[in-house]
Amino acid sequence: MKPVSLIQFLIEERRAGHINAELSLLIEVVARACKRIGVATGKGALGGVLGEAGTGNIQGEAQKKLDVISNEILLEANAWGGHLAACASEEMEDPQQIPDGYPKGQHLLLFDPLDGSSNIDVNISVGTIFSVLRCPDGVTEPKAEHFLQPGTTQLAAGYVVYGPATVLVLTFGHGTHEFTLDREVGSFVLSRRNIRIPEQATEFAINMSNQRHWQAPMQRYVGELLAGRTGPRGKDFNMRWVASMVADVHRIVTRGGVFYYPLDAKIEKQGGKLRIMYEANPMAFIVEQAGGAATTGRRRIMEIQPTGLHQRVPVFLGSKEEVELATHYHLEADGAMS
């Protein structure tokens, strides 16, 4: 079969009426910026890009040099692209306006420029996660409140994994598709179309070191996974935890499984670990479009009305049967299941 490039795929999506020209061009700009981030991460110690930047972000986290570099690459590429009204990032407190003198577009872009920061210096896969929303009509200087739209209003979502291969996974709400970077040619090529995540799973991903802090329903659910065929589930489960959400989710998009970052006593006050606007919502859209499910353990992530640009939520996502069972245990414990 003749290889289909990302550009050709975007033209097909436009002809199918799934996206408009501006959104198509915006995705091209984001993909090109991610190629540059891939080159920077690939240099490692030789590029002087490892280690701390010496600065902190709005989340109170120490920024890695590559967090800052990736953020700047995405801002610069999208500033002059002409497809955006504004963008927002994990690394910035407030939205970034498009500089005067540059044309503005109808879209809002949110991104986690480098997900899995704790893995950068140890050469484990990291990635970029992004989500695209429509800018409300008549708004010329979008503020944080204009970004606070439920995940169901996303026009596009995607992630890029910088691993042995550089892979882009993308959805516009008409299935989830994978593109692999052909490093010789320098372009993303379609490698899987209309991905389906198996409904059943035998692999789960969770940070087990938090177990003693988990709520009772999570203790019960994971306890049953660990009991395997000797327990009520009657089958064995294997565990994986890369600690880069993009890598853990890409494994699920590739061969099924589930990913959990539940609420626990340590992070209760902040509402969770992962951020709804540029981690949970885009991943939920991608997973749901591939036949999986994504909840907070109690409700569908994409139906949440966000209240803050850097709001955190619990994340349960992946193979439908497992996510629904874990969610059922939480609702049952809450007495919400009559």
Q: Note the residues at the interface with ligand FBP (CB under 6 A).
A: 90, 112, 115-118, 207, 243-245
Strands (E), the chain: 52-56, 62-64, 84-89, 96-97, 107-115, 126-134, 156-162, 166-171, 176-182, 187-192, 203-205, 238-239, 258-261, 274-275, 293-295, 312-313, 315-318
For residue 273, say whether it is annotated as part of any ligand binding site.
yes
For residue 114, say whether it is annotated as part of any ligand binding site.
yes
Please say which residue, 104 or 275, places its beta carbon nearer to ligand FBP.
275
Nearest in space to 240 (alpha carbons), one of 107, 125, 72:
125
Nearest position to ligand FBP, beta carbon: 245
Nearest in space to 76 (alpha carbons), one of 37, 33, 105, 118:
33
C-alpha span between 31 and 282 (Å, rounded): 16
* Residue 58 CB, nearest approach to ligand FBP (Å): 11
For residue 35, say whether it is annotated as part of any ligand binding site.
no
* Residue 186 CB, nearest approach to ligand FBP (Å): 26
* Residue 244 CB, nearest approach to ligand FBP (Å): 5
Please say which residue, 16 or 239, places its beta carbon nearer to ligand FBP.
239
Please tell me the chain's helix, strand, coil percentages from 3-state DSSP, rounded to the nearest 5: 40, 25, 35
For residue 279, say whether it is annotated as part of any ligand binding site.
yes
* Residue 267 CB, nearest approach to ligand FBP (Å): 9
What tokens appear for 114 in the block? 């480098």
- For residues 260-298, one letter each, b for 16 or more C-beta atoms within 10 angstroms of the residue's C-beta and e for the rest, the string is bbbbbeebeeebbbbbbbbbbbbbbbbbbbbbbbbbbbe
Please say which residue, 60 or 101, places its beta carbon nearer to ligand FBP.
60
For residue 90, say whether it is annotated as part of any ligand binding site.
yes
Please say which residue, 13 or 90, places its beta carbon nearer to ligand FBP.
90
DSSP code for 300: B
Please say which residue, 115 or 322, places its beta carbon nearer to ligand FBP.
115
For residue 184, say whether it is annotated as part of any ligand binding site.
no
For residue 64, say whether it is annotated as part of any ligand binding site.
no
* Residue 264 CB, nearest approach to ligand FBP (Å): 10
Please say which residue, 115 or 178, places its beta carbon nearer to ligand FBP.
115
Are the CB atoms for 133 and 154 separated by under 8 Å? yes
* Residue 240 CB, nearest approach to ligand FBP (Å): 12
Which residues are annotated binding-site positions?
90, 112, 114-118, 207, 273, 279
Binding-site residues for substrate = 115-118, 207, 273
